[in-house]
Structure 1
Amino acid sequence: MKNNLIKYLSAGLGCILVLTSCDNGFEDLNKNPNAYVTPDVNSVFSLSEVYMNGQDYENHRANLIYASAMVQHLGSFAYSGDKYAYSTEWSGAFFGSTYSNGIKETSQLLSTIPNTPENVNKRSAVRIMKAYLFHRLTDLYGDIPYFDAGKGYTGLILKPKYDKQQDIYTDLLKELDESAQALDASKPFFGSSDLFYSGDVAKWKKFSYSMMLRLGMRMSKVDPAKAQLWVGKAIAGGVFQSNADNVVLNHATGPDGVNRNPYTTPFLREDLQEGNGSTKLGKTFVDQLQNTSDPRLRIYARIESTGDNTPATQKGLPNGYTSGTITAHPSWTAAGIKAYSDPNTLTILRQDAPDIIMSYAEVQFLLAEAAVRGWDSGNAQTYYNNGVTTAMQMLTVYGNAVAPVSNVEVAAYLVANPFMTLGTTAAKLNQIGTQKWIVLFFNGLEAFAELRRTGYPTIIPVNFPGNLTGGTLPRRLIYDETERVNNTTNYNTAITQQGTDEFTTRVWWDKP
């Protein structure tokens, strides 16, 4: 189901094209028929923001079926993600859709908005969005088309070359740095067309530096010195300061075709079925929250068949199960699959549930890690406590149908699960990584990247019969299979320089 906001925006752009096609002059023969003639840049900017976190097609496949199951947020007895099996349709979905949607729109915007001082904010925001899109792509697949990408309309480059992830990261960080420094509150912006911040330039600047912090930390193993440099630059520039800085995309409820959440729409359509669906909350995730008396569990989870969201009664589905395994398992009950927990339809699985694209809580945990590594002078315990507190508080974006986490509950949780100030570095990083993994629930792509980078939290990989990794955690997804046919030469060059196009090939920053 496509986003209705996209329908409206696309229809508007289509009308512009129709209205401008009445000129029968000979100059039309020299124009690219696929490019916008006079696009409404405000509409295209809004559309680009919607595309930033993807649509239900690629989110169902890449985010839910694959990444969220691989990090054991979710479990499924039908899909291949938590069994490390390959599906051409699912593995390549994010690759194809991101290029054809978000990358296309942001590239078109940058070719349309004049590069003048008055447009510095508009162009900088688009560059930040484009960097976000590309970092998710490269983190998921490794080497990808980057410098030539998005130029099918503007440069007629239909078979873009693949670039090395190291080179992509160098340019992404440059883009974020230049964009953050260029943002100027005295210059015009998109105003209400900005769905994230309503034209607040200062918040866009913090978003850029927070992304810089994320990408800088991503290089912690492959290039610690460079990672520390960019982490320091991000902190000095000014990252998120509270939940008010969170990047959030709001959604609507209905009727069919409206701006519904791209995660929840496919789940409600295919994977819920009044509690009888094939995808559930993962046992690893539910057990972690139950074992630490985490009050977030009542907000995240619910046994859909009964409506029960009591934390103690939640039951996560072990990864690697099939329907036959469930039937034969010792914990089998008459309720069968309905006894396992679903994402809560009153909160996170509401049709109008917002997307939390990047949060202050995540930033606090990144800063906690930086402090543990000696890359920041701040106090790791303070960052950890702030991260836990605001991670619980930010769940109010899902409404009050379930009681929000109270300050008393936050304090009790921190007493029961204090930061390990006297622990080893590994123990501290495990604790921080585990909290970040919880924060990233439903953001499986980022959780998958962080699990590969840090190794935390410690999860037991699945060794399902016939899996393609030898029972080890996958390190990437496999490219869209159309690339082998339509972009053969560049595809072959990519696998020559990166390694075979398999789940087990590590991307540049993913070092043992």
Structure 2
Amino acid sequence: MKKHIYAVFALFMLLTAAGCQDDFFDINDNPNAPTEESITPQLLLPLTLHVTAARMATEYDFVGHWMGYWSRSGSYGTSLPLENYNITSSYQATQWNNASTSDQINLTGWYNNLADIDLMERKAAASGQTFYQGMAKVLKSIGFMYLVDQYNNVPYSEAFNLSEHILPGYDKGEDIYDSLLVELDQAATLFASADVLANPGIEDADIMFHGDAKMWRKLANTQRLKLLIHQSEVISPAEVQAVITRINADGSGFLMSGETASVQPGYNQSAGQQNPYWNAFKQTPQGGVADDFNRANNYILNKLRSNGDIRYQYYFSQANTPVGGNLYYGYNFGEILPNNDPYQAVNSSNVAGPGLAKSPSQPQWLFTSVESLFLQAEAIQRGWIPGNPKEAFQNAVRESFTWLGVTNATATVNTYLAQDNPLVNYDAATDKVRFIVMQKYLSLVGINNFEAWVDYRRLGVPTDLPLSLNPGRAGRGVPKRLAYPQSEYSYNAANVEAQGEINPQTSAVFWDK
């Protein structure tokens, strides 16, 4: 695995001239670009924040399909292996490393981004810029969490020490999770004691919280809770209590209502500078359609509509050219449509509804208040943290409606919560943890497709998720993980082969019991 050093001088353009026509995150190799020695944490932070948020928001469309959120539009034929679950080492290889590019945005795989984060952390530690160092630890915990949640065992302790480990060994997924919790403990300590003035340019370089230590501490605490929740079926009560005790000692709490962690480098309607979600799924800078492939899945569309849940009108857009009055039209995942089917992309609902894609200049969410409140509701229900679980559940649902910008959100959500149906009636639920997680599933459509996949694997929610209708599925179910990319078998063969035979249908991530 190669370590990539990126030229980041263009980030100055981000902070001073967001209207420039060139991509202000241009990181193409340049022989005249700055060397590693001249790169500072101040230069690396905006890039790594942007890439982290953009990856989380736009790179998991395939999971949106698997999880009943999205489906292929009528303008396209069968998409394999997306629809038959026959996952190979070439599928989604850019989740690992290498560039994932489009005409408007240049993203890198998790290892590429983590290499920059690791460099930022080392630079910050060497120069005493402890606030940058803490932020790097938080971002590292997010990136490696995603890698473990997709692959289980991955290179971690040897990942970026190329002078000693040109072919890095693999760490166990559970050991990485343990280490990430330690890293977050250290980050919390750094934020609590950091001298902000000793971190040059922090207010501008921090395109998420502008150097607000308390908000970074809240994010670190919420990320700690998320790592615990992912392990809910395998972690001991003593381990949970030890982490919760450290969170309580920090005293900052979690991300609460209205406290979504979002990045804003100066997104605008220009090539290479649009909000990532808008750019990927809504509209090109020239006003054209950005995505004709992803459309509403009938499962989630019908689930919301049949239960008086208006949020489908905010997750999805009305069809540009409705047929027969069908303003919101979706498809069944994996279904092979007849050639004479009248519904094409223009006749169906895209996945960039008005609650998700508000404008090309909107901030890009990285960790939403909605998800945070649902994590807290589950933790309260499990007895991990104090609180009223019913109240916490209802507050999380309310935050979903507010976050999406639902018209008359308070009255609308109160009407929704007053219904006597199994999706909202807390008192009638027998398995209240899964009840809360099902509503979390309904609240993260397009916002965090990946987290829905995590919850499905750890708890089997939703219980009635339909499998692909593709005739080539051959009995396969929703994959438990991705296959290691071919690049590892080509360049790090001994270490990847030591992980044994990997079958995405049966080889589970450590927390998936």
Range of TM-score over shorter length = 0.7 to 0.9
The percent of aligned pairs where both chains have the same amino acid is 20
Give the aligned residue type for 2:315: Y
Give the aligned residue type for 1:217: I
Q: 1:433 aligns with which of 416, 434, 437?
A: 437
Contact 2:219 2:255 in 1 (8 A): no
SS of alignment partner, residue 232 of structure 1: helix
1:282 aligned residue: 297
> In 2, Cα distance between the equivalents of 1:276 and 1:256?
16
1:192-233: per-residue Cα shift (whole Å, max 9, x none)?
210111110100000001011011111111224256325633
Q: 1:69 aligns with which of 55, 65, 72?
A: 65
* TM-score calculated relative to the size of structure 2: 0.81
SS of alignment partner, residue 366 of structure 2: strand
Contact 2:64 2:449 in 1 (8 A): yes
1:139 and 2:149 correspond: yes
Relative distance call for 1:424 and 1:204 in structure 2 (3 A) is same
2:218 aligned residue: 206
> In 2, Cα distance between the equivalents of 1:275 and 1:114?
41
> In 1, Cα distance between the equivalents of 2:353 and 2:400?
20
> In 1, Cα distance between the equivalents of 2:397 and 2:85?
31
2:269 aligned residue: 254
> In 1, Cα distance between the equivalents of 2:165 and 2:208?
31
The alignment of Structure 1 onto Structure 2 pairs a total of residues equal to 466
> In 2, Cα distance between the equivalents of 1:234 and 1:8?
39
1:103-161: per-residue Cα shift (whole Å, max 9, x none)?
11111112212346x52221011111111111011111111111111334xx3633211
Q: 2:395 aligns with which of 373, 386, 397?
A: 386
Q: 1:130 aligns with which of 111, 133, 140?
A: 140
1:148 and 2:144 correspond: no
2:466 aligned residue: 460
Contact 1:72 1:82 in 2 (8 A): no
Relative distance call for 1:192 and 1:404 in structure 2 (3 A) is farther
1:314 and 2:314 correspond: no
Contact 1:17 1:38 in 2 (8 A): no
Give the aligned residue type for 1:387: A
Contact 1:284 1:318 in 2 (8 A): yes
The Cα shift of 1:95 comes to 1.1
> In 2, Cα distance between the equivalents of 1:268 and 1:88?
31
Relative distance call for 1:10 and 1:274 in structure 2 (3 A) is closer
Relative distance call for 1:227 and 1:430 in structure 2 (3 A) is same
SS of alignment partner, residue 434 of structure 1: helix
1:415 aligned residue: 418
1:218 aligned residue: 230
1:412-453: per-residue Cα shift (whole Å, max 9, x none)?
111126754433542x22321122113322222222112211
SS of alignment partner, residue 356 of structure 1: strand
SS of alignment partner, residue 43 of structure 2: helix
2:129 aligned residue: 119
Q: Which runs of 5+ in 1 are unaligned?
A: 19-34, 397-402
Contact 1:107 1:151 in 2 (8 A): no
SS of alignment partner, residue 180 of structure 1: helix
Give the aligned residue type for 1:431: F
Give the aligned residue type for 2:208: F
Deviates more, 1:416-425 or 1:349-358: 416-425
Give the CA RMSD over aligned residues. Answer: 3.3
Contact 1:303 1:338 in 2 (8 A): no
Give the aligned residue type for 2:24: Y
1:23-45: per-residue Cα shift (whole Å, max 9, x none)?
xxxxxxxxxxxx51211321211
Contact 1:160 1:490 in 2 (8 A): yes
Contact 1:464 1:471 in 2 (8 A): no
Q: Which runs of 5+ in 2 are unaligned?
A: 1-9, 15-21, 98-107
1:178 and 2:175 correspond: no
Contact 2:130 2:194 in 1 (8 A): no
* TM-score calculated relative to the size of structure 1: 0.81
> In 1, Cα distance between the equivalents of 2:236 and 2:347?
46
Q: How does 1:290-329 map onto structure 2 within 5 Å?
A: 290-306=305-321, 313-324=327-338, 327=339
Q: How does 1:148-167 map onto structure 2 within 5 Å?
A: 148-152=158-162, 155=163, 157-167=165-175
1:8 and 2:16 correspond: no
The Cα shift of 1:504 comes to 3.0
SS of alignment partner, residue 83 of structure 1: coil
2:44 aligned residue: 44
> In 2, Cα distance between the equivalents of 1:354 and 1:304?
25
Contact 1:261 1:352 in 2 (8 A): no
Give the aligned residue type for 2:415: A
Give the structure with the higher percent helix. 1
Contact 1:475 1:506 in 2 (8 A): yes
Relative distance call for 1:12 and 1:505 in structure 2 (3 A) is closer
1:507 aligned residue: 509
> In 2, Cα distance between the equivalents of 1:14 and 1:52?
23
Contact 2:319 2:329 in 1 (8 A): no
